Amino acid sequence: MSKKRKAYLHVGMPGTGDVVEAALVHHREAILELGFEVPARSAEETFLASLEILRAHRAWGYERPEVEGQWAALCRRAWRGNLPVVVSLPMMVGANRPEIDLLLDGLVGMQVHVVVTAGPYDHLDDVVDRWFGAVRKPERLHVVRLEDATPERIWKAFGRTVGFGTASLGLADVPDPAGALPVTSLDEARREIERLARRNRSLERWRDESERRRRKAKKRLRVA
């Protein structure tokens, strides 16, 4: 019986994930030489795929046809090769279980590993519960929590977790994730600023909601 190909899916707490998404795309050819395939060819592809799965396109100023099929296209590209696959979708860290299941449907047949990046003060109980429920085996859920969560340390720790070295994959030439999407006019620039502002607000709301759920869970445990 042949072994399943591995697929490493990265999700990141706010402030810790974007660097991985951008660095994977920027270094995709070099990472291929190290034995891993990066199906995404731009940060826009992974961003739109996340909006599709999360059904958040309207909040970001997109129409449904603009995101429809983005994740399926990435999965088709992933299935064409024979090496382990690495995909970064940092926004999916806040996905609920049905959204996670929908995402993983595209990778059925692969051995999926989930890598969660986090800073020192991020509350991860809810995140770990949701993603562990999907991958089901503890050795397939990797939590990378860093006290000093600089982009360089996050990128190095991520590469080490997946299994490739980052010494030759520096971040100096990696585009700023905040400006990774194409801007072709003043109107597009204004639209992009609004998208980024909405993204920040969405992440803040998600973080606040996660904190409320954590407090409620602790209160229930104390009562019990």
Domain ranges of the chain: 6-181
pLDDT value of position 183: 43
Cα torsion 156, 20, 31, 128: sign: positive
Closest CA to 189 of 197, 173, 46: 197
At residue 5, the 3 state secondary structure works out as: coil
CB atoms within 10 A of CB 155: 22
Tokens encoding 205:
């709301």
- pLDDT attached to residue 170: 94
From the list 169, 167, 194, 172, the residue with the least C-alpha distance to 183 is: 194
- A 10 A CB-CB count for 83 gives 15
- Nearest CA among 25, 18, 19 for reference residue 40: 25
pLDDT in tens, the chain (224 residues): 458 999 999 999 988 888 999 999 999 999 999 999 999 999 889 999 999 999 988 888 888 999 999 999 999 999 998 999 999 999 999 999 999 999 999 999 999 999 999 999 999 999 999 999 999 999 999 999 999 999 999 999 999 999 999 999 999 999 876 544 444 444 455 455 555 655 565 556 556 656 666 676 667 666 65
Residue 34 φ/ψ, nearest 5 degrees: -90, 0
Distance CA 85, CA 36 (A): 6
Residue-level pLDDT at 224: 58
Instruction: Give the relative orientation of helices 97-105 and 43-54 as an angle to the nearest 10 degrees.
Output: 130
Nearest alpha carbon to residue 40 among 164, 159, 168, 180: 180
pLDDT at position 199 is: 58
Return the CA Rg of the chain.
Answer: 17
Which CATH number is 6-181 given? 3.40.50
Token pair for 186: 């003043």
pLDDT at 180: 43
